[in-house]
Each structure stands twice: as structure tokens, then as C-alpha cells.
Structure 1
Amino acid sequence: MYGLSKDALRWTAKATTTSWKDQGSHGYVRYTHRATMTKMVPGDTYYYKVGSSQDMSDVYHFHQPDPTQPLRAAIFGDLSVYKGAPSIKQLTDATHDNHFDVIIHIGDIAYDLHDDEGNRGDDYMNAVQPFAAYVPYMVFAGNHESDSHFNQIINRFTMPKNGVYDNNLFWSFDYGLTHFIGLNSEYYAEIHTKEAQAQYKWLQADLAKNKAQWTIVMFHRPWYCSTKDKGGCNDYLDMLSRKGNSELPGLEKLLFDHKVDMVLYGHKHTYERMWPIYDGTGYKSSDSGHIRNAKAPVYILTGSAGCHTHEGPSDAPQSFSATRLGQYGYTRLKVYNTTHLSTYFVDTSDKVGNFMDKFYLEKD
């Protein structure tokens, strides 16, 4: 039930129910209920509750996107239900203070959704409900979701349909001036050749028809970063999605050719912002905190939301590295207009959420 006032939920949306079996040894059956609200008006606030004749939830609310207003997003990867508690609290507080329009989780969820016969996933969903009930919570798979053919992420969530598989594993959506794309780098790491080829073909078409002023692409495994051993990100499985091989089509040139503005990923449990990069070359300018008319996508590694193996910043920065931080936290993105966006890192190891690494991207 939903409506424009918490005291007048005048409309109903009937859910469809899907049963699915957890991959644990007991094979517990779980149920996911999905309903679609209609007649949404941009800029309006809607109140809703879910349930049945037997019981109903509390009343929650969300704000329907207003494309005329700046976009505000939180983006992060690698969040545990336990080690990530400080980030979850600060994300919740910021949501209730109306700081976000969308929250995007770029893989590695709960550590792990399927653990303890799936009860870890239930605990995680309960933990994030205080923010996920109020703003869109977008997810896609990391390596910790690949178990049993992505069973948990396919069945627990509902992402935009892509017309290929429609199973939450890759998607895109427009929000105001920005086109967001979420991709599955695990197709490459797990050598799912057919699926990787289908995703590439879909991505070609999606980028070709994209008319948004800003384009932001996200996936889990990093292409560029600094590491402790001076080698940077060069893991073969991570590089497959970037470079490809004779059967797996690489993605980097496609993103560059279509002038993607920014790429974000996780997997490494730290934070690093890079200069614009293409094919291993960083394009530096006079001010790393304010880049105008970038020659290639800006890359941000944001995998430090909170998990069991946190990593400090590298003391062997690559030539394309602009900033490295060792705190727990997440990235905030703000798209102001057709010419300016900004990002900064929120340090959630600090109780007040200290803002760090303020960055502006500008284009004519």
C-alpha cells in the first residue's frame, strides 16, 4: 500500500512471490516478494508499507527523483554486516538527514550472503533496511556473490532489467543528468564466456544510445590501483575484463571510445583516486583536485566500507595515483549540472564522518 501521505495509503500494488533454495547444506527455502508502484510523479514523496492480511510493516517513505535537482549518491564496495557497522550507521544517519538520492554497492555484500545457511544474508538485509527502505539501494556482484551461480544476488534483489538475462547481474539507469552502468566483472574472473560476450554486446548498445551528460560505470574488480608490492593492480583475473583475450572482449577501449567520465570499483579494501587513465597512461594536469575536460575516465577505488581484511594505503604509488587513504569509509558523488560533478571520501572510522579528498570534475 502506498500514497502521498502516511495516513492515506490509497493505492495498492500486488506482489508476485518467488521461492528459491539457499545453497547451504540444509537447502532452506526462502521467499522474495516483488511489487511495482505506478503513477509516480517526479519530486513527490511517497509513503508505503508492505505485508498481507496477517501483518503489515511500519510505514516508510521515499522521494521520487526530480531530474531538475542535483544528484547525490553514496558509492562503495566490500561491506560486511559486522565489520561494516560504522559505515552502515553513518549511511543510515545521512539517509535520514536527506543527503542521498541513491546508494550503490559495488560488490562483496555482507561477507557473505550465503554464510550460515543464508542467515548472514538475512542479518545483512535487516542491518541495511534503515537506509535501503528510504532510497534506492543498487547492487551488483563481486567475487563473494559468485557462489552457486550468483544465487543470492539474483534472488534477494531487484535491479533494472537489461533485456538479456534480467537477473540483477548487469544493468543501467538514468538519474537526472547521469547515466549509471553496473557491470559484472565476475563473468571474466569465472570465465563465463557466453555471458561476458552477451554483456559486452548489451554494453555496446547501451552506450550507443546513451544521451546523458555524465556517464559513470561501476564494476567490482579493479583495473588500476597502487599496491604494497609496487606492481599495482595486475592480477590476471582482474585484468581480463579490462584487456580481454581471444574469447572474452575487453571493456576498456569501449568505455574510452564512448567518453565515459568516471569508473568506480572495489575488491581492494582501501581507497584510491586516480588521474584520468587510458591503457595504463595517466593524464595529469596542474591540479589533481580539479580536473577540466579529462582526456580519459577518472578511476576511483572505493572498497573500504568495512570488511574483515582492511588494507592501508600503498606506500608505493603508481604514476597515475592522485590520492590514497587508509580509513574505513565510502565515496559521495554529487552531480551539480551539465558541467560540474564532485566526489569526496567519508571517513566512517571517525564518528562524525570526516570528509576527505574533495575532487571536482568539470567539462565544457
Structure 2
Amino acid sequence: MIYRYSPRPAGRCSSGPVLIKMVPLHAACALLSLAPLLVLGHRPIWIQPEQVHLSYPGVPGSMRVTWTTFNETESKVEYGLLGGRLFELSAKGGATLFVDSGEEKREMYIHRVTLTDLKPAATYVYHCGSDEGWSDVFSFTALNDSASFSPRFALYGDLGNKNPQSLARLQKETQLGMYDAILHIGDFAYDLHEDNARIGDEFMRQIQSIAAYVPYMTCPGNHESTYNFSNYRNRFSMPGQTESLWYSWNLGSAHIISLSTEVYFYLEFGQELIFRQYEWLMKDLEEANKPENRAVRPWIITMGHRPMYCSDDDQDDCTTFDSYVRLGRSDVEPPAPGLEDLFYRYGVDVELWAHEHTYERLWPVYGDKVYNGSKEQPYVNPKAPVHIITGSAGCREKTDMFNPNPREWSAFRSTDYGYTRMQVVNATHLYLEQVSDDQYGKVIDSIWVEKEKHGFSAWL
């Protein structure tokens, strides 16, 4: 047993030293070894909403709010018109328990609430959560459902948690009101599932400063494939009933289709998905091409992660002539159809891609051949779809290198970090430009696509 003398603390009435009895050394060590258990013995309560993001459900006058808590709570959104009475309206939804498939089997509750009867183009202020905890206050502008609306988009793929170089510029521009919607064309966080999905959590916190203000519309990429795309399927809330894997929606004079190129590469998750998506795409395109529908939404725009064409020097699918996405797979039974002929047959105007960590604009192309509108004005009444590859937003894999000898369909290439802006101006004019983050926001490429008519007959 160890004893030591200690001076009596100042301010006490008694005088003289105090004899303090010390615990044995081995007992002190045992207590110290238990200290982490004493600290960590009680699981924290995580009822505070986080990772707030919006999506458009595809129904005019609606907006969906999605967020995460780590304990079960109610799912409520309180909102009101900007300048009106704060939180005078409210809506309830529900939460689903998502258990990540990593070693820790971390649990999180994904909350979804759909707001309806919103006034077109009106700005709303909202927060989400429950009486146990509320998010910060955000705002959004309800989408205008008029076909004469001219929506503005930022679009990109391959944005990571590490080295998200374009993120700060996108955050600021979104909060300045420059965009009506964001299109994230696959590959998130690098990767959503890593560190038992904590990387996914942090990435969703990062994009909250964009995605809580405008609809954040997505499609899956190869980096989402782990555990059968479970982090992607659970975290995002896209239109339709396909767990955000493929869907379509309308905005302004455009019909926008999001698809999964990954069904061609991860056959272990179901080869039948290639055929299910293809049949869905064919029906969706048939509906969009009905004369009464194409007259209102003449532009058909697709977004998918892996491109049909590219001139990067990395041996990806798009660098080969017989690309799976473009021509299908003849090595499966029955043979799986590709997408190029389908999109050409139904007059798809613009095809947006990512995956390659570069920006590349193509001349109008079909069947590996260029079909410009004319030599002087290639994008005026083009005779084939226009392809844009925009996968250089920023991630830990850095940017890619180009093949020094591109094919004739390659019109413009850049390895700068950056992203693309698009505006569907009206039924005949669509504008695209590429922003270089390396060059402090400089627009390094731009085109106008002009079409007097849309559909298959436009190619003739």
C-alpha cells in the first residue's frame, strides 16, 4: 500500500498536511484498462437529421426530401413560402432501416417525405426531422412544370470525398441560384460503402450544401457496385419503382432518362437486368415519341455512367469498337442488346456520360461515323445524337490521359478538373458549356445544339 502527504487545499479551516491513502499500483492499472469501456459503454443517441438532399419525384408541384438519422425518429418536414409565415405547412413521411453490409453492419435510418401542391417557381423555406431534433433551415424553388420553362443544369460524374476539386465552386454557384437541378452521372464518394459506409456519410454531408437546395438527380456508376449497389439504392430517392437504377422525368421542353450502364458489367447481380432495363427503355421511348408528347417535350436527353465512345487511353469499354453499352453482349445467352441503335431509332438528341475522368465533346455520331448537320454548322440539325462525357469533377483517382490519336468523331478534349452546364432553352435550342476549375471557372468549351425537328425523322 502506498501513502503520500498532500498539502491541505487553500481556503480550508484546518491546518497541517492530509494523509491520502493510495490504491495499489496493480489496481490502478486495472481501473485504467477499463477506462475505454467506461467511456464507450453507452451508445450515442443520433437523432439529429443530417445528409439532407432533394430530388424531384417526377410529379408536377412536388419535391422529395431525404435525410439520415442513426436512431429511429419520426419523419417530418415543416415548410412555408419565402417571405410568409415560417413553417406554416408540414408533411409526414416514413423511414427505412438500412443496414450496411460491411463488417460492423452499421445501421442508419433513411427518411423520405414528399411535399405536394407546391406553387411552380415559388421559393420555399424548410427544415426536416422531428420534435426530437431538426435540421438546419434550407430553401428550394419548386420546379416550373411549364414546357416553356428553360431549366439550367450542372452535370458531372466521378465526384469523390477525397479531392472533390470542383465541389466548392458548385456549392457557391448552387447557392447563388444558378441551377434548377443537378445531374450526378454516377460514381459517388469513392466509395459510399468504404469504412463501413462512413465515407458515404461524409460524402452526403459534403453535398448537402448543394443537394439541400436543388433536386440532386443521379444514376449508378461502377463505384457503387459493392453489395449489389445497396448504398446507392438506399441513399437516393429517384422517381419510379426501380430503386433509382433507371427512371425518367420531364422538365421544361426535355424528357430526361437516367439509366444504369452497370447492368452490362455486373452479371452476378442478375443478367436479366439488362433485358428488364432495355424493355423499360423501349416502352419509355415509345411513350415519349408519341406525337402529342414529343410536341410538348421535343428534347430527349439520356444520362448513363459509362460512355459508348471515348478517346481516353485506359482500355475502358468505350475505348473498344465493340463496346458493351453501345453494341450489347454476344457472349451471354440470349445475346443482350446494346443501346446505340435503340437511342438512334427513337431520336435521342443528347447523351450525357461520365466514368472517364476527362471532358470530351463528340461530333454527332452513330455507328462510329460522324453525321454533322453541315461542315460549317455541325450541331445545327445534326444527323445523329450528340455525346458529352463529363467525368472530371474530382476524385482520388485524379484525371485520365487521352489517346494521342483520337478517332474522327472526337471534337474537343480536356483533362482539366471541371463540370458541365446545360440549359434547355426552348424547343429548338439547347446550350452546353464546360467549366474548368483548374482555370478558376473559365468556360473552355461551348456549343449550341439547334434542331428544327426531333425524332428519327431528324436524322434523314
* TM tier relative to shorter chain: over 0.9
Q: State whether residues 431 and 448 of structure 2, in contact with CA within 8 Å, keep that contact through their aligned partners in structure 1.
A: yes
Candidates 21, 25, 46, aligned match of 2:99: 21
Aligned equivalents of 2:221, 2:320: Cα separation in 1: 15
- Residues 169, 229 of structure 1: alpha-carbon distance in 2 compared, 3 angstrom cutoff: closer
Q: Which residue of 2 aligns with 1:115?
A: 194
- 1:1-364 alignment runs, 5 A limit: 1-5=78-82, 7-66=85-144, 67=146, 68-84=148-164, 86-161=165-240, 163=241, 166-191=242-267, 192-210=270-288, 211=293, 212-228=297-313, 233-235=318-320, 239-244=323-328, 245=330, 246-284=334-372, 285-287=374-376, 291-309=379-397, 310-351=399-440, 353-364=441-452
Moved more, 276-285 or 3-12: 3-12
Deviation at 1:348, TM superposition (A): 1.3
Q: Which residue of 1 aligns with 2:457?
A: none
Moved more, 222-231 or 42-51: 222-231
Q: TM-score normalised to the size of structure 1?
A: 0.94
Secondary structure in 1 matching 2:210: helix
Q: State whether residues 306 and 318 of structure 2, in contact with CA within 8 Å, keep that contact through their aligned partners in structure 1.
A: no
Partner deviation per Cα, 1:93-145 (whole Å, 9 max, x = no partner): 11111110010111110100001110100110110000100000011110000
Aligned equivalents of 1:321, 1:232: Cα separation in 2: 16
Aligned equivalents of 1:317, 1:232: Cα separation in 2: 15
Secondary structure in 1 matching 2:132: coil
Deviation at 1:314, TM superposition (A): 3.7
Q: State whether residues 230 and 318 of structure 1, in contact with CA within 8 Å, keep that contact through their aligned partners in structure 2.
A: no
Aligned Cα root-mean-square deviation (Å): 1.8
Using the aligned pairs only, state the percent identity: 40
Which letter does structure 1 place at the counterpart of 2:235? R
Aligned equivalents of 1:183, 1:29: Cα separation in 2: 28
- Residues 214, 27 of structure 1: alpha-carbon distance in 2 compared, 3 angstrom cutoff: same
Deviation at 1:230, TM superposition (A): 9.9
Partner deviation per Cα, 1:161-190 (whole Å, 9 max, x = no partner): 1x4xx2011111000101111110111111
Deviation at 1:231, TM superposition (A): 10
Deviation at 1:232, TM superposition (A): 8.9
Q: State whether residues 312 and 401 of structure 2, in contact with CA within 8 Å, keep that contact through their aligned partners in structure 1.
A: no
The unaligned stretches of length 5 or more in structure 2 are 1-77, 453-460
- Residues 319, 223 of structure 1: alpha-carbon distance in 2 compared, 3 angstrom cutoff: same
Aligned equivalents of 1:205, 1:69: Cα separation in 2: 26
The unaligned stretches of length 5 or more in structure 1 are none
Aligned equivalents of 1:361, 1:274: Cα separation in 2: 12
Which letter does structure 1 place at the counterpart of 2:255? H
Q: Which has the higher contact order (CA 8 A, sep 6+)?
A: 1
Aligned equivalents of 1:14, 1:235: Cα separation in 2: 49
Q: Which residue of 1 aligns with 2:29?
A: none
Aligned equivalents of 1:157, 1:186: Cα separation in 2: 17
Which letter does structure 2 place at the counterpart of 1:119? R
Q: Which residue of 1 aligns with 2:12?
A: none
Q: State whether residues 222 and 233 of structure 1, in contact with CA within 8 Å, keep that contact through their aligned partners in structure 2.
A: yes
Q: State whether residues 140 and 168 of structure 1, in contact with CA within 8 Å, keep that contact through their aligned partners in structure 2.
A: yes
Secondary structure in 2 matching 1:332: strand
Aligned equivalents of 1:231, 1:93: Cα separation in 2: 33
Q: TM-score normalised to the size of structure 2?
A: 0.75
Secondary structure in 1 matching 2:227: helix
Aligned equivalents of 2:82, 2:257: Cα separation in 1: 33
Which letter does structure 2 place at the counterpart of 1:286? K
Q: State whether residues 232 and 318 of structure 1, in contact with CA within 8 Å, keep that contact through their aligned partners in structure 2.
A: no
- Residues 47, 229 of structure 1: alpha-carbon distance in 2 compared, 3 angstrom cutoff: closer
Aligned equivalents of 1:206, 1:41: Cα separation in 2: 27
Moved more, 290-299 or 177-186: 290-299
- Residues 36, 232 of structure 1: alpha-carbon distance in 2 compared, 3 angstrom cutoff: closer
Q: State whether residues 313 and 319 of structure 2, in contact with CA within 8 Å, keep that contact through their aligned partners in structure 1.
A: no
Report how many aligned residue pairs link the two structures: 357
Which letter does structure 2 place at the counterpart of 1:70? S
Which letter does structure 1 place at the counterpart of 2:427? T
Aligned equivalents of 1:205, 1:231: Cα separation in 2: 29
Which letter does structure 2 place at the counterpart of 1:259? G
Secondary structure in 2 matching 1:123: helix
Deviation at 1:249, TM superposition (A): 1.9
Q: State whether residues 314 and 324 of structure 1, in contact with CA within 8 Å, keep that contact through their aligned partners in structure 2.
A: no
- Residues 231, 47 of structure 1: alpha-carbon distance in 2 compared, 3 angstrom cutoff: closer
